[in-house]
Chain A
Amino acid sequence: MSNDAVLEIRDLHVQFKVYGGRLRVLDGIDLLIRSKEKVGLVGETGCGKTITMKTTIRVLPSPPCEIPRGEILFQGKDTLKMSRKELQYFRGKKIAMIPQDPTASLNPVFKIGTQLTDAIKYSASSKKNLTKKRILDKAMDVLKEVGLPDLKRNMNSYPIQLSGGMKQRVLIAMALVAELDLLFADEPTTALDVTIQDQILRLMKELVDRRGVSMLLITHNLGNIRESTDKTYIMYAGQIVEVAETETMFSDPLHPYTKALISSVPKLTGGGIAPGIPGMIPDYSNPPKGCRFQPRCEHATKTCMQKPALQQIAGDHKVACFLYQK
Chain B
Amino acid sequence: MLPLSKVTKMANNVLVLRDVRKYFAIRKGFLRRRIGNVKAVDGVSLTIGEDDLFGLVGESGSGKSTLGHTIVGLQKATSGTIIFKGNEITHVNKKDRRPLKKELQIVFQDPGSSLNPRRSIKATLQLPLRVHDIGNNKHKVTTVENLLEMVELPLEYMRKYPAALSGGQKQRVAIARALATEPSFIVLDEPTSALDVSVQGKIITLLLKLRERFGLSMLFITHDLSLMRNVATSLAIMYLGKLCEEAETSEFFQNPLHPYTQMLLSAIPVVSKEEEAVRPKKMISAGEVPSPVNTPPGCSFHPRCPSRMDVCCRVEPATVEASEGHTVKCHLFAK
Does B166 reach chain A (CB closer than 8 Å)?
A: yes
Partner of A267, one of B167, B205, B275: B275
Residues on B with C-beta less than 8 A from A166 are 288
Partner of B263, one of A195, A221, A266: A195
Does B154 reach chain A (CB closer than 8 Å)?
A: no
B230 near A163: Cβ-Cβ < 8 Å: no
A195 near B267: Cβ-Cβ < 8 Å: yes
* Min C-beta distance of B53 to chain A, whole Å: 12
Partner of A223, one of B198, B230, B268: B268
B166 near A194: Cβ-Cβ < 8 Å: no
Question: B271-286: which have CB < 8 Å to A?
Answer: 271-275, 278-279, 285-286
B230 near A266: Cβ-Cβ < 8 Å: yes
Residues on A with C-beta less than 8 A from B253 are 268, 270
A267 near B226: Cβ-Cβ < 8 Å: yes
Does A64 reach chain B (CB closer than 8 Å)?
A: no
Does B264 reach chain A (CB closer than 8 Å)?
A: yes
A226 near B59: Cβ-Cβ < 8 Å: no
Residues on A with C-beta less than 8 A from B59 are 193-196
Given known pairs A220-B196, A264-B200, A270-B253, the reply for A199 and B226 (CB within 8 Å) is no
The distance in angstroms between the C-alpha atoms of A276 and B206, with both chains bound, is: 11
Chain A contact residue count (CB 8 A cutoff):
40
Closest to A271 in B: B230
Does A315 reach chain B (CB closer than 8 Å)?
A: no
Partner of A264, one of B201, B208, B224, B278: B201
Does A280 reach chain B (CB closer than 8 Å)?
A: yes
Residues on A with C-beta less than 8 A from B201 are 264, 273-277
Partner of B197, one of A163, A201, A220, A251: A220
Residues on B with C-beta less than 8 A from A107 are none
The distance in angstroms between the C-alpha atoms of A270 and B279, with both chains bound, is: 12
Partner of B274, one of A196, A269, A280: A269
Task: Name A residues whose Cβ lies closer than 8 Å to a Cβ of B.
Answer: 44-45, 163, 165-166, 193-199, 201, 220-224, 226-227, 250-251, 260-262, 264-277, 280
Which 3 A-B pairs have CB atoms at the shortest separation, nearest pair first? Answer: A223-B269, A276-B201, A198-B267
11 residue pairs of the A-B complex, CB under 8 angstroms, read A165-B288, A195-B267, A199-B285, A221-B269, A226-B269, A250-B271, A261-B198, A268-B268, A272-B230, A276-B202, A277-B201
Besides A194-B264, A276-B197, A276-B200, 12 more A-B contacts (Cβ < 8 Å) are A166-B288, A195-B263, A196-B288, A198-B285, A227-B269, A260-B198, A265-B226, A267-B271, A268-B279, A276-B201, A277-B201, A280-B166
